[in-house]
Amino acid sequence: MFTKVFKTLNDNDLLKENDRVLVAFSGGPDSTALLYLLIKLKSKIAFDISAVHVNHNIRKEEALKDEKFCKKFCEKYKITLHIVSENIPLLAKKEKTGIEETARNFRLKSFEKLCNEYNYNKIAMGHHADDQVETVLFRLFRGSGRTGLKGMSIKRDKIIRPLLETKRTEILDYLKKHKIKYIEDSSNFENYYQRNFIRNELIPVIKKKINPSVDKSILNFSESISLEEDFLDSLTNKAVKKVVRVTPGRKFQLDLNLFNNYDLWLKRRLLRFCLFELSRSKTMPDKEIINRLVSLVEKNGKEISLPGKIQAKLDNNGLILFERFKNNYQVELPIGETVSLNLPNYKFYSCKTSLNSFKKLVKRNAFTIFLDYNLIKFPIYIRNINQGDRCRFLGMKGSKKISNYLIDKKIPKVYRDEIPLLFDQAGIIWLVGCEIADRVKVNKNTMRVLKIGCARR
């Protein structure tokens, strides 16, 4: 089995010298075999290994025994072990999601956090060929499309799955042969969980009544789908470069003149790509959502709201997909600090400088401004545009409604709603990306200068 896994690693370029690998270690047979194999593999490839154990607090005393086992195993082989704990049943209730989904999402977030904190560039997971069969069946029953029927990827982003071509029986035989202890999670035998039902009840019945080699058939099916999907992905990526433009604020704009010339299957994939990227989700949008978007375009509609706080709008620029955000926010911008706005995706910073320094480094643009420090009535706040807001912008004799100003600048409404502004105790001082107020401009009497900048994320 060592040779087989080593070949999987090489064929799929899963490990390289100097990689820092975080192994997901439950103490079960799969993750124990994976961790042991990677430890042995260090004699062939120079890389670092650490492990992470997640206590879901579902089985209480049994979970503590699992944690103790993992600590002892890692101490024996001198492996750094991170322990992460969360009350998953409570979290699932709070987030109104299933236990399995909540646990999975929590694990992935925890792994990513550890990677960022300790500079791990690979996350090794113990999924094997039998898990792949269960995954494909589970997704099929849930109504997944072709992408889902590919099953789990052997490599995706940081995640690697070195055992994905290895059967569970091979893993158990290997552990037995090398006298390696492991633990069994009692919840794996509880058919209350959907995946357990597929593993313990459904697959055995199919093997007995229909096809003894059903697992092999499903793996072959998944592999065929995967090859075809890779080809379709390459065509989709070419179309994305022609049709999709990502504008500031993570708005996905589709050129309908080109989009409408494509076949329906490619239209669907383009829309799926945009929604997947926009939502930052690990799951693909379902068919109903895609159909609503196709209908919006074909019937020349105006605007629809989609799950996940996503909005779709048709205008002269094409189809625009963007994330809705709460329109009311207000946050202080202290001098010398950085402030991030997650919803409109802006990051602001400010600093005080002398007039002489200002003359040397001044390079004003739409997102970097210089103001007369003494003319500002501190503190400064960032907020959304409100109905009726007015400002006397630079060079103006009188004030103007911000809504009229944006219309005159021909800024589409879909972008207007998310533009922030800065104000002090005397009123608006900057409409971000547009113009500053005339009353705070740098002039011949200016002694101190305030620099404020912002960046779109």
**So what's the pLDDT on residue 144?**
83
Least Cα distance to 205 among 140, 143, 144, 137 occurs for 137
Lowest mean pLDDT among 123-127, 220-224, 263-267, 339-343: 339-343
Per-residue pLDDT tens digits for 176-196: 999 999 998 766 666 667 888
Q: How confident is the model at residue 108 (pLDDT cuts 50, 70, 90)?
A: very high
Homologous superfamily assigned to 2-210: HUPs (3.40.50.620)
Q: What is the average per-residue pLDDT within 21-39?
A: 96
- Residue-range domain boundaries for the chain: 2-210, 248-323, 330-456
Per-residue pLDDT for 336 more than 80?
A: yes
Weakest mean pLDDT among 50-64, 265-279, 354-368? 354-368
Share of the chain above pLDDT 70, in %: 92
28: confidence class by pLDDT, cuts 50, 70, 90? very high
Please give the Cα distance from 32 to 74 (Å, whole number): 10
> Distance between CA 96 and CA 90 in Å, rounded?
10
pLDDT of residue 280: 66
- Give the pLDDT of residue 284: 67
Does the pLDDT value for residue 45 go beyond 80?
Answer: yes
Would you state the structure tokens that stand for residue 272, as one six-digit string? 């799926």
Supply the pLDDT for residue 249. 66
- Band (pLDDT 50/70/90 cuts) for residue 281 is low
Q: Per-residue pLDDT for 42 more than 70?
A: yes
Strands 48-55, 20-24: pairing kind? parallel
Q: Give the CA distances from residue 399 to residues 198, 391, 408, in Å, rounded to whole numbers and listed in that order.
A: 68, 5, 14
Q: Could you report the per-residue pLDDT of 431-457, keeping only the tens digit for each?
A: 998 999 999 999 989 989 999 988 876
Per-residue pLDDT tens over the stretch 291-316: 999 999 988 878 898 887 888 999 88
Q: Using alpha carbons, select from 77, 13, 12 the residue that is nearest to residue 42.
A: 77
Alpha-carbon distance 214 to 216, whole Å?
A: 5
Q: What is the pLDDT of residue 148?
A: 87
Which residue is associated with the tokens 């992460």? 84
Residue with tokens 């959907």: 194
Select the highest-mean-pLDDT range: 113-127, 236-250, 337-351, 410-424. 113-127
Higher pLDDT, 23 or 95: 23
Looking at 79-83, 126-130, 182-186, 290-294, which range is the least confident one?
182-186
Chain centroid to Cα 190, Å, comes to 31
Average pLDDT estimate for 263-273? 95
pLDDT beyond 90 at 210 = yes
Residues 128 and 162: their CA atoms lie apart, in Å, by 8
Between 162 and 281, the more confident residue is: 162
| Mean pLDDT rounded to a whole number for the chain | 89
Kindly state the average pLDDT of the residues 150-166. 95
Are 320 and 312 within 8 A, CB to CB?
Answer: yes
pLDDT at 152 over 70: yes
- Please say if the pLDDT value at position 140 is more than 80: yes
- The reported pLDDT for the residue numbered 94 is 86
More confident residue, 350 or 234: 234
pLDDT tier for residue 226 given thresholds of 50, 70 and 90: very high
Judge whether 245 and 253 are in contact, CB under 8 Å. yes
Question: Looking at the predicted structure, is the pLDDT value of residue 393 above 90?
Answer: yes
pLDDT over 90, % of the chain: 61
The CATH superfamily label for domain 330-456 reads Phenylalanyl-trna Synthetase, Chain B, domain 3 (3.50.40.10)
Q: DSSP per residue over 223-238, as a string?
A: HHHHHHHHHHHHHHHH
What distances in angstroms separate CA 178 from CA 1, 89, 256, 358, 430, one per listed residue?
Answer: 11, 36, 61, 71, 69
The listed CATH number (1.20.1530, 2.60.120, 3.30.465, 1.20.120) that belongs to domain 248-323: 3.30.465
User: What number of residues does the chain have?
Assistant: 457
Is residue 344 very low, low, confident or very high in pLDDT (cuts 50, 70, 90)? Answer: low
Which of the pair, 248 or 340, is modelled with greater confidence?
A: 340
292 vs 362, more confident? 292
Specify the pLDDT at position 358.
Answer: 59
Q: Which residue has the higher pLDDT, 281 or 31?
A: 31
Q: What is the mean pLDDT of residues 266-273?
A: 95
Write out the H or E segment, with its range, that includes residue 168.
Answer: helix 168-177
Sequence letter at residue 389: D
SS3 per-residue string spanning 104-144 = HHHHHHHHHHHHHHHCCCEEECCCCHHHHHHHHHHHHHCCC
